[in-house]
Amino acid sequence: MRSTAEARRAVVLNAAVSAFARTGFHATPVTAVAAAAGISEAYVFRLFAGKLGLFVAAAEACFERIVAALEVGAERAGDAGPDEILDAMGRAYAELIADRDLLLLQVQAQAVTDVPEIAAAVRAGYKRVATFVQNRSGAGDAQVQQFFAYGQLCHLIVTAGLEQVPEPWARALTAGIDHP
Amino acid sequence: MRSTAEARRAVVLNAAVSAFARTGFHATPVTAVAAAAGISEAYVFRLFAGKLGLFVAAAEACFERIVAALEVGAERAGDAGPDEILDAMGRAYAELIADRDLLLLQVQAQAVTDVPEIAAAVRAGYKRVATFVQNRSGAGDAQVQQFFAYGQLCHLIVTAGLEQVPEPWARALTAGIDHP
DNA sequence: CATATGAGTGAGTGCACACTCACAAACACA
DNA sequence: TGTGTTTGTGAGTGTGCACTCACTCATATG
């Protein structure tokens, strides 16, 4: 026993988040995740319920990390007004997705929602994030909606690489968005 | 010669938009597109430069239809102020994506931007849409940015099926979004 | 009628990949 | 030391799919 199964699961999960984020569910072979985790493909299948189970677990981990980051960010704003808290959360989110993995995995998951299990995971994930934002910030519906709208815009900016485009139309879309 | 190659190409393109929208690039076999178009798989490969060429063509057609719809929508607002024109465009977009194909294909394309040709097509597509919205509406950068942010939020709502969720967090995200 | 041109396909080929299973090695404990 | 349990793997197996190619048939034209 080199390691415990639970510890291995965590390592595999990290590898899965990165791998699925880059190439998505269907284009990511389980071999790639196994190699990144430093174990055999066969053992990945023993640790998780198929490729689908692995992807769902990765998505859940992704949303969990996002909530944690927002929590930390909100802490910085203390118990200021909704505007300040949302602002602090936005900055925390911007820092979190600097490595792009968590952002890209959300995009990948949204693209595979024709698989019911994944759709359920996405809904559950956004439920956790949205209810947390609502409760912790105390902001109204419109403000919360705006928060998520600009979050989704951020997804487009990154996937399309709009930060690199100097033309006016791209500058309009990226204006004021933090991208460290 | 039952038909001209050009006519077939158009039929295949329609089938490709629908098929790729539902199951995405990697999970959609060319056989599925061929079957939907009523021709053989081999002929699809003669009409388009591989599966990738077919997907890129479908994405381009998608953005072309979006611009056309926004054009029609803007026409309804005539030469009113930027707010009214953007509003009319928003309604036109909501009508257009009632069948979900064009919306889902954008999501699918964004998820496969690790393929350079697709990333280029996505950038080119949004360039067309964004410059059109900018020029035709005469709105400022912030307003245009907001227009796209809520458009992207719309993508999340549809892929996650949030219209069906009655809980408060989902109501906050979907409030005021047209979904015919 | 002869022949060239373009539409359209059936039958393959080769490969990547999800998933399995029999088996080995490390550890726990009596 | 013997026995059971858990970690871990190599070597398959079957299948789905992108892409090819030799071929047929319809039409147009001289």
Output the distance from B43 CA to D24 C1' rounded to whole Å: 14
Q: Which nucleotide is nearest to A42 (CA to C1')?
A: D9
Q: Which nucleotide is nearest to A27 (CA to C1')?
A: C17
Mean pLDDT, chain A, whole residue set: 96
Output the distance from A161 CA to D17 C1' rounded to whole Å: 31
Torsion from C-alpha of A142, B86, A153, A106, nearest 10 degrees: 80
Chain A residues with CB-CB distance to B142 below 8 A = 175
How close A1 comes to chain B (CA, Å)?
A: 38
Question: Tell me, what's the pLDDT at A3?
Answer: 86
Q: Is the CB of A38 under 7 A from strand C?
A: no
- Flag whether pLDDT at A2 surpasses 90: no
Q: Which nucleotide is nearest to A44 (CA to C1')?
A: D8
Q: What is d(CA A130, CA B2) in angstroms, rounded to the nearest whole number?
A: 55
Are residues A126 and B152, on separate chains, in Cβ contact within 8 Å? no
Per residue in B123-175, pLDDT (tens digit) is: 999 999 999 999 999 999 999 999 999 999 999 999 999 999 999 999 999 99
- Flag whether pLDDT at A179 surpasses 90: no
CA distances (Å), origin B72, targets A44, B64, B65, B136, B178: 52, 13, 11, 11, 18
Phi, psi of B11 (to 5 degrees): -60, -45
Query: What is the rounded average pLDDT of the residues A131-153?
Result: 98
Q: With a cut of 50, list the residues of chain B below it in pLDDT.
A: none
Question: Tell me, what's the pLDDT at A79?
Answer: 87
Question: Tell me, what's the pLDDT at B178?
Answer: 74
Are residues B107 and A111, on separate chains, in Cβ contact within 8 Å? yes
Are residues A24 and B26, on separate chains, in Cβ contact within 8 Å? yes
Tokens of B128: 């067309």
Per residue in A91-135, pLDDT (tens digit) is: 999 999 999 999 999 999 999 999 999 999 999 999 999 999 999
Within 10 A of A176 (CB to CB), how many other CB atoms are there? 8
Output the distance from B47 CA to C8 C1' rounded to whole Å: 11
Q: Which run of H or E residues covers position B131?
A: helix B116-137
Question: Tell me, what's the pLDDT at A6?
Answer: 94
Within 10 A of A91 (CB to CB), how many other CB atoms are there? 15
Output the distance from A8 CA to D8 C1' rounded to whole Å: 11
Are residues B110 and A23, on separate chains, in Cβ contact within 8 Å? no
Q: What is the Cβ-side half-sphere exposure of residue B88, based on CA atoms within 13 angstroms?
A: 20
Tokens of B32: 């599925």
Partner residue facing B161 (CB), from A23, A119, A130: A119
Output the distance from A135 CA to C5 C1' rounded to whole Å: 71
Chain B residues with CB-CB distance to A161 below 8 A = 113, 119, 123
**Encoded amino acid at B20, one letter:** F
Chain A residues with CB-CB distance to B111 below 8 A = 24, 107-108, 110-111, 159
Query: What is the rounded average pLDDT of the residues A51-72?
Result: 98
Q: What is d(CA B144, CA B138) in angstroms, rounded to the nearest whole number?
A: 9
Per residue in A3-49, pLDDT (tens digit) is: 898 999 999 999 999 999 999 999 999 999 999 999 999 999 999 99
Question: Tell me, what's the pLDDT at A170?
Answer: 98
Partner residue facing B111 (CB), from A108, A123, A141: A108
Confidence of residue A1 (pLDDT cuts 50, 70, 90): low
Question: Tell me, what's the pLDDT at B78?
Answer: 87
- Flag whether pLDDT at A52 surpasses 90: yes
Q: Is the CB of A53 under 7 A from strand C?
A: no
**Choice between B152 and A2, residue whose per-residue pLDDT is larger:** B152
Size of interface A-B (CB pairs under 8 A): 142
Within 10 A of B99 (CB to CB), how many other CB atoms are there? 11
Angle at A65 between CA A62 and CA A69, to 5 degrees: 140
